Amino acid sequence: MRAVGVHADAVVAVSGFWQTTSTALRAGEEAFLIDSPVLPAELEALPSLLAQAAFPQVQGLLVTHADWDHLLGRYAFPDAPLGVPESTAARLRNEPGAAQRELRAFDDEHYVERPGPLSLGRPETTQALPVPGHCGIGERELELHPADGHTEDGMAVWIPWARVLVCGDYLSPVEIPWISEHGSATAYLATLRRLAPLVEQADHVVPGHGAVLDGTRAAAILGEDVAYLEALLERGADAPLPLARRSGAQRRIHAENVGRVAAAV
Ligand SMILES: [Zn+2]
């Protein structure tokens, strides 16, 4: 796991698996964690890593969307309450146990052992956050922006005083736009257009997967992703993939996207 300080109040850890990112954030005596690394040793190391960075104890876990690989913060901070966008709260309610099942399938496949099953806590302790909206931390406020399209739920978190955008599964340098089962290419495009003015102001953009980007690089990826999605909607399978993201794995995601777009028409 790589950890990078992007601001005095924000540290980003990038998991050794899928390069899933996790952002620790502090304001005064309060600290939050947004999303999570994937591997057990990484989750176990997080509390001491943040203590070394002189962060206060993490008192809240925010998640950008309900995909299981972003939901594992409880393994690191078992008592911290979960804050999720309303759209994610609805998804967790509508698909009870889905994250746990998918985590188990992943762990079985890769021989990963965890200290116990994933506990997301009781639904009544999960805070459903209105998005668009604000979320207080210490004496500061985070801006929450809707970010659907990859999935049917999601939010991007704008940290105004640090000029950092934590956007969930968008703007990845390693993954093409992925329209998952209940996602939508048109909603994805709308999210990218919504994020564009934030990217323009950002010193750093933290994608759900991949290394932290500076604003210029993130804007370039945003342009590539808009072009890919527009081509996907117009030309389906013939849409060219962004130059730096054409591996076999990305071609499989593209094939999946082609099926989703065809099914949505
Ligand atoms: Zn993800």
**pLDDT tens-digit series, residues 37-75:** 999 999 999 999 999 999 999 999 999 999 999 999 999
59 Cβ contact partners less than 8 Å away, ≥ 6 residues apart: 30, 31, 32, 80, 81
Span from the CA of 20 to the centroid of ligand 1 (angstroms): 7
Instruction: With H, G, I as helix, E, B as strand and everything else as coil, classify residue 63.
Output: coil
Span from the CA of 19 to the centroid of ligand 1 (angstroms): 9
Flag whether pLDDT at 264 surpasses 90.
no
- Global pTM value: 0.96
Q: Which residues is 170 bridged to in the sheet?
A: none
Per-residue model confidence (pLDDT) at position 121:
76
Flag whether pLDDT at 124 surpasses 70.
no
Span from the CA of 16 to the centroid of ligand 1 (angstroms): 13
Per-residue model confidence (pLDDT) at position 265:
72
Report CA torsion sign: 207, 211, 78, 142: negative
Report CA torsion sign: 80, 81, 87, 92: positive
Span from the CA of 141 to the centroid of ligand 1 (angstroms): 25
Mean pLDDT of 186-199: 98
42, 35, 11, 13: which is closest to 25 by C-alpha? 11
Span from the CA of 36 to the centroid of ligand 1 (angstroms): 10
Per-residue model confidence (pLDDT) at position 123:
64
Q: What percent of the chain has pLDDT over 90?
A: 94
Check: CB of residue 157 under 8 Å from CB of residue 142. Answer: yes
Per-residue model confidence (pLDDT) at position 239:
97
Structure-token match 């105004």, residue found: 160
